Amino acid sequence: MSKKQLYTLEYPVRCSPTILYEFLANPTGLQEWFAEHVDERDGIFYFTWNGSTEEAEVIEQEDEKYIRFHWLHAPKEEYFEFSIDKSEVTNQTILVIKDFAEKREIKDQTMLWGHQVKDLFHRLGG
């Protein structure tokens, strides 16, 4: 099995960091765009798609800044992260997504994230 590598995606967002963070770090917000159903118990998030549930633990977070998850089935050095940045030039809010994928899968994963982020923007009214 080839080693996965970290890649980063950035999306300008038309909303405040406070509102955006609610969609990134809380089960109700994540369920709006990321998975069909999301539940959280004791720091473990349960993400369900098409009847299949994946578990991820929150390994780091700072309110209104970022949240980092680790899939329980993945190697411990792998994670996915949502962070909120601000463009110094335009003062626009930027959603930054970090994830791991095999090099040959990064293009497909980028398209999948793009589709999900489009759903997020729709929910945010943008």
Question: What residue spans define the domains of the chain?
Answer: 5-124
Contacts 24+ apart (CB under 8 A), 81-85: 82/24, 82/25, 84/17, 84/20, 84/21, 84/24, 85/10
Mean of the per-residue pLDDT values of the chain = 95
Confidence of residue 63 (pLDDT cuts 50, 70, 90): very high
Confidence of residue 75 (pLDDT cuts 50, 70, 90): very high
Q: What is the pLDDT of residues 93-121, one digit of tens each?
A: 999 999 999 999 999 999 999 999 999 99
- Which CATH class name applies to 5-124? alpha beta
Q: What is the pLDDT of residue 125?
A: 85
User: Which of 105, 99, 72, 102 has its CA nearest to residue 10?
Assistant: 99
